[in-house]
Amino acid sequence: MRRFKVTVNGHSYEVEVEEEGERPTGARPAHSHATQRHEQVAPPVADSSGPVEQIVAPLPGTVLAVKVTAGQAVESGQVLLVLEAMKMENEIVAPRAGTVKELQARQGQAVNTGDPLLTIG
């Protein structure tokens, strides 16, 4: 696990970055045995000790609505925020269950592809 300080639009954020393979993630356990492999189809469980995952804007647009608050527990597939882009209200959903660690996006904010929106831990 490595820590970085990142400045975006004048706001500075502390980001924890983990290399893949460093240890198993809550979302995709690195199983190697047949007996365990079936578990992968089961919905991932909330794991507050899992690595922090940065959710970024998939395309340039404007944050129309933020649907969660920092510290809130979220399910996999839950709508986190709505990004208006390409004349579409794009729903940004949680890739896995977890807790909203940091909310970086604000309503009305213009974001570019790859800009940080929030982190899930």
Partner 1 sequence: MDNDRTKDLEHRRQRVLAGGGEARQAKQRQQGKWTARQRLAALYDEGTFQELGMFVEHRSAEFGMDQADAPGDGVVTGFGQVDGRLVYAFAQDFTVLGGSLGEMHARKVHVVQDLALKSGAPIVAMADSGGARIQEGIDSLNGYGEIFRRNTMASGVIPQISVIVGPSAGGAVYSPALTDFVLMAEGIGQMYITGPQVIKAVTGEDVSHEALGGAQTHARKSGVAHLTFVDETALMAGLKRLLGYLPSNNLAQPPAHPAAEPEAGAVQGLDQVVPDDPNKPYDVRQLILGLTDQDSFLELQPAYAQNMVIGFGRLAGRVVAWCANQPRILAGCLDIDASDKLARFVRFADAFNLPLLTLIDTPGYLPGTAQEYGGIIRHGAKVLYAYSEASVAKISVVLRKAYGGAYLAMCSKSLGADLVLALPTAEIAVMGPEGAANIIFRAQIEAAADQDATRKRLVAEYRDRFSSPYVAAARQYVDQVVTAGELRHALIAALWALGEKSEDRPAKKHGNIPL
Name which of 7 and 35 has its Cβ closer to partner 1.
35
Of the pair 5, 38, the CB lying nearest partner 1 is at 38
What is the contact mask toward partner 1 in residues 6 to 45, using x (rule: CB under 8 A)? -------------xxx------x-xxxxxx-xx-xx----
Buried-exposed string 20-48: b where 16+ CB fall within 10 A, e elsewhere: eeeeebbbeeeeeeeeeeeeeeeebeebe
Which SS3 state, helix, strand or coil, does residue 101 take?
strand
One residue of 63, 80, 85, 103 binding partner 1 per CB under 8 A? 85
* Residues engaged in binding partner 1 (CB under 8 A): 19-21, 28, 30-35, 37-38, 40-41, 58-60, 84-91, 112-113
